[in-house]
Chains A and B, each alone.
Chain A
Amino acid sequence: MKFKTKKKEIRRIDLSSYWQLVWWRFRRHRMALIGGTILSLFLIIALFCETISPYEPHARNSKYTQGRLMGVHLFDQDDNFHFRPFVYARVNKRDPVSFRLNALVDTNERWPIYFFVKGDSYKLWGLFENEIHLFGTEKGFIHLFGTDQLGRDMFSRILYATRTSLSVGAIGVFFAFVLGLTMGGIAGYMGGMTDELIMRLIEFIRSIPTLPLWLAMAAALPREWSALKVYIAVTIILACIGWTNLARRVRSRLLSLREEEFILAARLSGCSARRIITRHMLPSFLSYLIVDLTISFPYIILAETSLSFLGLGLREPIISWGVLLFSAQNVRSIVHMPWLLLPSLFVVVAVLAFNFLGDGLRDAADPFAK
């Protein structure tokens, strides 16, 4: 008994020094840290979007359609400082020439912004009833990112879309990961005919241009399906095409590992195949897997965004960044409402953040590299 605990202790120390090395190298990679911070922010947004956003994503503000971004001020036009930030009131005036209702800034009235304010009620994660929003106004309204043609608050919609886009990414990556790991694992471990077959399959999939494939598969989804079903189907489609890279990595790693001596030693001491794979082979390329995961995320997110932009992916009432960009499909809308392009900023930042993080992880995971 004593002997056993001693072994465990020593192993923990060994393990900790490897991970300590990894963490230390990671910290030195500034961009990776920035990426990680941004992604954590996104995660918080995704988790608490109901609370952070001032409005419900489908709520329409008929008083402020196609509205521009509303600027937050601390100083009013007379240069007085107000402790509480505010937005100027908007008043609707009918344009005498075009008879269109325009929302004009009224600098005489201020709508102060309050924090942790009571707003529309919502259910956090569909479970907990709540009314507190992170910020909002008591009279009037605040649309930080403007509104769309129907008067829906872009800021709130983008926040809710973050949750959808990230979750689609996560689930897609997860499926791709499972599929890739299984296929690559089988190919790498079995070798021979199985390996050949799987490799041919992978090559075949890779030789087809991906977008037409996605488009075709997405177009195959019946129109009548509920938005939720479409959501799941789209993630599966994305995963089905994305697993090939991971499978190749896993397979090549396994193939080279098979010849390594410590595997031979394990085999000679009588370990079963499963034990060899899980306890001996897997930990050595765990780091590569983590990096691959992080790098796969942005591709899935970009793919979903492209699909939904075309109208072939997710649809209303489920909103993702791509779905939001669907309204920006033609140039005319953008000319009038350029803020409809704001979701793409989030896409770009998310993709960059994942890439930086992945770069940092890759450098850190190889503590023996120069």
Chain B
Amino acid sequence: MADKQLDTTTAASAFQKQWFADLRRRVFDERQPYALLQADVPFELFDLLEIPAVSNQWWASIIAAKRQAPQFLGAMDADGLHCGLCRYCSLGFASTRYAYAGEPPWGGLPTPRLLCARLTCDCIHRVFELWAEAFGAELFEIDHPGAGELPERWWELGRRQWRELVEPHRLAFLVSTLESLVERLEAISGRAFDRNALRDRLELVNQQEEVFDDVRQLIATAPECPVRMTEQITNVMATQWVRGSDWAIAHARAFRDEVQQRVDAGVAACPGERARLMWVGAGLWHDTGFYTAFESSHRAVFVWSMYLAFGPDGYIRYGLDDPMAALASRTASFNEYLHNPPWAAEWLVHQARAHRIDGALVLRPRSMKPAATGRLFIERALEDAGIPVLPIEADVVDGREWDADAARADVRSFLETRVLQ
């Protein structure tokens, strides 16, 4: 993996490791409850009731990045869980259920008090139920009503007209479900939920995402990309899991300032940049070196992933008179924004144009079937917009069948025949 170029990236990595160590201490030594959550659950509710929360997808990415995934995935295979079942959302479960198979990072997950998941994909109910059973912990499910209306340019509506973005019955359902979740969290924490504190927190989240909007703008408009995509992800995700906290806002600002300094000084992630690439899909966590592998050979740099761009467009909610409704509106359609027609393709084309993208690499996920939907619409829309597309077939956490050399050869060929002519 390439060396880190930004000081804030090193700080973000260190924060995450320390945060997890503190979590383990609080759980083991102080017997405090914590929660395991799908990434799209509103973390703010847990934080406001002082229940620290670990993201399932973040934990899976850490296991994969530490090269521990093959052992746990092998144990899943041996137990008869066929290879078509989603590995990304279940790797964390595997590290619990088949703990004997490997060495989970940083000492592993302690037993949570509660698991919570939105039932976006069909398999989530199964994975979280099995995981809760393996821990002997409680599970809270947030069901996912389908969107019947999908207005165009969701990323513009979402900021100020978010009530128009989500049909009233879906919004009301989600508000009611989140209220039930709050009741449960109050019972667990022994604390009372403060609605004003939620409004304040969402305002802070807005501030954080506005800072990321600035960073995105810097990346989109600088002559050359000032920060590698992998470092964007590290900095953004470290803050997103504790979004709106003092540390998160301070770190987001430090990140922006460092990027601004690099732009002002004309420092590029890949000096002499010739091709700006977009990564569409979840990160290739078992081979993050892939994203810097074409810099020296082709001066091709990954400029864009959803991780930074989705923050400002997906999270900012102005008009917080009813903060729970605002939070629900943000949560209601994450999956549709990122994967499904017309929303995903429309947004990605818009982002590609804003970032002067020369070529897009679109993940064709091997085992994440729901995330695989909408892909053909996305590929077609990008090509129709004049952006060459290279589909990359891979599993984001399971590197056992990943041929790194062949994939890199495919990208080199793509760059030479379609991007850099």
- The answer to whether A and B belong to the same complex is no
Binding site for B on A (CB under 8 A): none
Binding site for A on B (CB under 8 A): none
